[in-house]
Amino acid sequence: MKNITEVLEWRYATKKFDTNKKLTDEILNQILEAGRLSPSSLGLQPWKFILVENVELRTKLREAGYNQPQITDASHLVVLTYKNSLDEAYVDSYLKYTADLRGITTDDLKSYKDMIMGSITSRTPEELKVWNSRQVYIPLGVMLTASALLEVDTCPMEGFDTNKFDEILGLNEMGYSSTAILALGYRAEDDDTAHYKKSRFGTEEIIIRK
Ligand SMILES: Cc1cc2nc3c(=O)[nH]c(=O)nc-3n(C[C@H](O)[C@H](O)[C@H](O)COP(=O)(O)O)c2cc1C
């Protein structure tokens, strides 16, 4: 079995997927679960992951994604979206869910609620959007790593028109916005980028010890 460094050396942003190879449901679900189980600031999970299975939708998304082939050719496509706003009703629903899960009352979580609301009300609506959109990169990273551990190839992507994606997927009506895509599948044998030497600055350059 590969160690984590070998796994991360193995993964690369796949440009050309083998259109004949598909993830099994079991593998796909493990990757989606890795996203769902990701941490978020205050535990608020301000995201939804859209698994786009409809072929016509994927064709439209490819047009809105500067015609990047991964959008249609990968086995599966996940669009990561963030919540456009956060309000007390959302916080209450999260705390009720948590309280029920843990067999406690929402009153027990009163000081936690105060902390969350303090954090939300100290931000402007625009700052809340930025904050939420940043959270989405955590499940993106977790799913990238989980995929690599499962020997699934991926391409994380930001190269697309978010407004068009939102429109095609009806995200505005849901109160969400697209921020990144995760294409999942298996590399084509002739994807030359698989053999590019990984370009990363050295450990001394990136890891600063003080
Ligand atoms: C947030 C994010 C957005 C990216 N957007 C694209 C994209 O739109 N298209 C693409 O082919 N690669 C995209 N990439 C892949 C990067 O170019 C790639 O990860 C980087 O060059 C390092 O190469 P490696 O992942 O193969 O090691 C993106 C990567 C990240 C993390």
The verdict on residue 48 lying in a domain is yes
Q: Give the whole-angstrom CA distance, residue 137 versus residue 130.
A: 12
Other beta carbons within 10 Å of 54? 10
Tell whether the model's pLDDT for residue 148 goes beyond 80. yes
CATH number where 39 lies: 3.40.109.10
Atom number of ligand 1 nearest to Cα 137? 1
182 Cβ closer than 6 Å to some ligand 1 atom? no
Domain coverage including residue 139: 4-9+20-84+130-185
The verdict on residue 114 lying in a domain is no
Tell whether the model's pLDDT for residue 16 goes beyond 90. yes
183 Cβ closer than 6 Å to some ligand 1 atom? no
Distance from the alpha carbon of residue 12 to the mean position of ligand 1, in angstroms = 8
Residues 169-193 have pLDDT tens digits of 999 999 999 999 999 999 999 999 9
Going by pLDDT thresholds of 50, 70 and 90, the confidence category of residue 2 is confident
25 in Cβ contact with 188 (< 8 Å): no
Residues 64-94 have pLDDT tens digits of 999 999 999 999 999 999 999 999 999 999 9
Number of domains within the chain: 1
Residues 17-53 have pLDDT tens digits of 999 999 999 999 999 999 999 999 999 999 999 999 9
